[in-house]
Structure 1
Amino acid sequence: MDTAAGLTFRDATETDVDALVALVESAYRGDASRAGWTTEADILEGQRTDPEGVLEVVKAPDSRLLTVERDGRMVACCQLEHRGDHAYFGMFAVSPTQQGGGLGKAVIAEAERLARETWGVTEMHMTVISVRDDLIAWYERRGYRRTGKTSPFPYGDERFGVPQRDDLEFELLVKELA
């Protein structure tokens, strides 16, 4: 789907997996991620995702991995998963060099619209590492609210990264979809 902002939204395919892994890694890990504000480089090392994890999302029946392109270049992505009366929003990544210009806002708005129209859900859920105050504040400005419900970080499972601190956990954020 095309938007006025020159963005093209489409569902990812198996041939997109390597580019999606590179995009997610660039947004969250290592020195390249420091060009944007979403970096997790100070709290997590190692990988953020891997080809197997991305492929699993692409192939899952109640899931879609939305790929966002500008001028034929992949600049963002997000996962939407249908979970009964709500959708789960995850694997959200915006290229570090594209951050700060409204692209993230456009992607999350389109994701919410698609979840509502495709599945008829009334809420969007996501989990965010609870120490990411700046990121949580960004989501709050988009209408998400903190629930105080937390789940443990998967310490010891390096598929999710190598924690640099011992107080990491996920907090559930929820937004009512009109």
Structure 2
Amino acid sequence: MDSAAPASPGLTFRDATAADVDALVALVESAYRGDASRAGWTTEADILEGQRTDPEGVLEVVESPDSRLLTVGREGRIVACCQLEHRGDHAYFGMFAVSPLEQGAGLGKVVMAEAERQARASWGVTEMHMTVISVREDLIAWYERRGYRRTGRMTPFPYGDERFGIPQRPDLQFELLVKVLG
């Protein structure tokens, strides 16, 4: 598979390496946590404080034989990323981040479409699964516009495990979203 081929003018897609870990942690944190994340619309700053990920977690994804961390570059810098994990008949989509300064211009749609294409081409999967914090209605609506459907299947948020952040409300849980890949 030619994952380094550009899928959109000016963008390059490639699998992350250990050398990318620090840049990827900074990207994910900037998209979801702290005041910097408020420049984009994907912020979780009002519902979670603390970290979203750490170097160990990102490196684990990079080195896992069943996962890929797809990086999206523009002009030599990483502007977006997402995790693809092969799970039998489906792929899991996670760690999706777009730089707050790049949000709102269609880059997320391009990245998601390329991730879906690569999951089908690499593993022959027919579905993409993801989990989203259920109170993130705006984000869930964005995924629904891309063909994902809510399943109503919930899993608890890991309260007390600060590797995932410090919850600012007591009602957080993850909902499974599923898309049939054509």
Q: TM tier, shorter chain? A: over 0.9
1:73 is displaced (CA, Å) by: 1.1
Is structure 2 residue 168 aligned with structure 1 residue 164?
Answer: yes
Which deviates more from structure 2 when the two are superposed, residues 126-135 or residues 3-12? Answer: 3-12
Task: Provide the residue aligned with 1:177 in structure 2.
Answer: 181
Instruction: For residues 111-162 of structure 1, give each alpha carbon's deviation from its aligned partner in whole angstroms, at most 9, with x where no partner exists.
Output: 0000000000000000000000000000000000000000000000000000
Identical-pair percentage: 84
What is the alpha-carbon distance in structure 2 between the residues aligned to residue 108 and residue 140 of structure 1? 12
Q: 2:79 aligns with which of 70, 75, 78?
A: 75
Matching residue's letter, 1:95: S
Alpha-carbon distance between aligned partners in 1 of 2:10 and 2:142, rounded to the nearest angstrom: 23
3-state SS of 1:27 partner: helix
Match of 1:160, as an amino acid? Answer: F
Question: Where does structure 1 lack aligned partners over 5 or more consecutive residues?
Answer: none
- CA deviation map 1:17-74 (0-9, x unaligned): 0000000000000000000000000000000000000000000000000000011111
State the Cα distance separating 1:5 from its structure 2 match: 2.6
Q: Give the length in aligned residue pairs.
A: 178
| CA deviation vs aligned residue, 1:78-109 (integer Å, no higher than 9, x gap) | 00000000000000000000000000000000
Tell me, in whole angstroms, the C-alpha distance in 2 between the residues paired with 1:147 and 1:5: 35
Equivalent-residue separation in structure 1 for 2:78 and 2:66 (angstroms): 23
Q: What code does the residue aligned with 1:46 have? A: G
What is the root-mean-square deviation of aligned Cα atoms in Å?
Answer: 0.5
State TM-score, norm by structure 1.
0.99
AA aligned opposite 1:75: V
1:34 to 2:31 alignment: no
Q: Which ranges in structure 2 are unaligned for 5 or more consecutive residues?
A: none
